[in-house]
Amino acid sequence: SRLEQRLSSAPDDNSARLDYAVHCLSQAQFHGGGEVWFNRALTQARRVLQADPASPGALMVAGVSLVGLDRTDHAARYLDEAVRLAPERADVHLGLGALHRRDGDRHAALRELELACRQEPDAWESNWMLGKVLQERAEELGSPRRLVERSQFHTVRALSLNPSESLAADMLFQLGQTCVRTGRMEEAHKIFTRLVELPAYSSK
């Protein structure tokens, strides 16, 4: 709301517009906003790019928004340009990880997400997505313990970085699933007992 007010009073403030685009993308990706917020993020990012075609942040937002809208061919163009301009940015590699995951290439997704975690180790987003893709890759390969334990490590790391309460519940559910796969039934029982008290998980 504050960013919307700031843009209303200064519509040419591209810094505020990019901040708003990033918040729209976060709402879409991680807080249940879905297609409406992906479209909103994309619109704002494109407006920034009209004024600054070489803005890595706007290229990243546009690319990830298009991934969320399942338009991966267009997304790749934005994200490839973003990584060319700013290979050191963790959010760009996070976006490429999302792109490869959507395309079903979890090996490439893991490479990009590991880069994102190395570049910004204190970001819960990168750690959580890496934990999820490691779990998916483990399932593809018959759940080798090494991959499952790496998934657990990054999920626990994401939980330690203070995500929102609803996201923390999703992370705990994922962690409980991996505990079952590694035979850690006592830990899994504790996690699921804690989650069953939440309305969103009472029927799972």
Instruction: Give the model's pLDDT for residue 166.
Output: 80
- The half-sphere exposure of 126 on its side-chain side, counting CA atoms within 13 A, is 22
Measure Cα distances from 68 to 59, 91, 107 in Å: 14, 15, 20
Cα separation, 127 vs 111, whole angstroms:
13
pLDDT digits (tens, 9 = 90+) for 118-166: 999 999 999 999 999 999 999 888 888 899 999 999 999 999 998 888 8
Question: What percent of the chain is predicted at pLDDT more than 90?
Answer: 70
Determine the average pLDDT of the residues in 19-36: 92
Is the pLDDT reported for residue 201 higher than 80?
A: no
Q: Find the angle CA(129)-CA(132)-CA(136) to the nearest 5 degrees.
A: 135
- Kindly provide the residue ranges of all beta strands, DSSP E only, lying in 158-204, ordered along the sequence: none
Q: What is the DSSP letter of 163?
A: -
Cα separation, 73 vs 184, whole angstroms:
41
Q: Provide the pLDDT confidence category of residue 7 given band limits of 50, 70 and 90.
A: confident
pLDDT digits (tens, 9 = 90+) for 31-44: 888 999 999 999 99
Instruction: Give the model's pLDDT for residue 194.
Output: 86
Is the pLDDT reported for residue 203 higher than 70?
A: no
Is the pLDDT reported for residue 76 higher than 90?
A: yes
User: Dihedral angle at the C-alpha atoms of 85, 87, 88, 93, nearest 10 degrees?
Assistant: 120
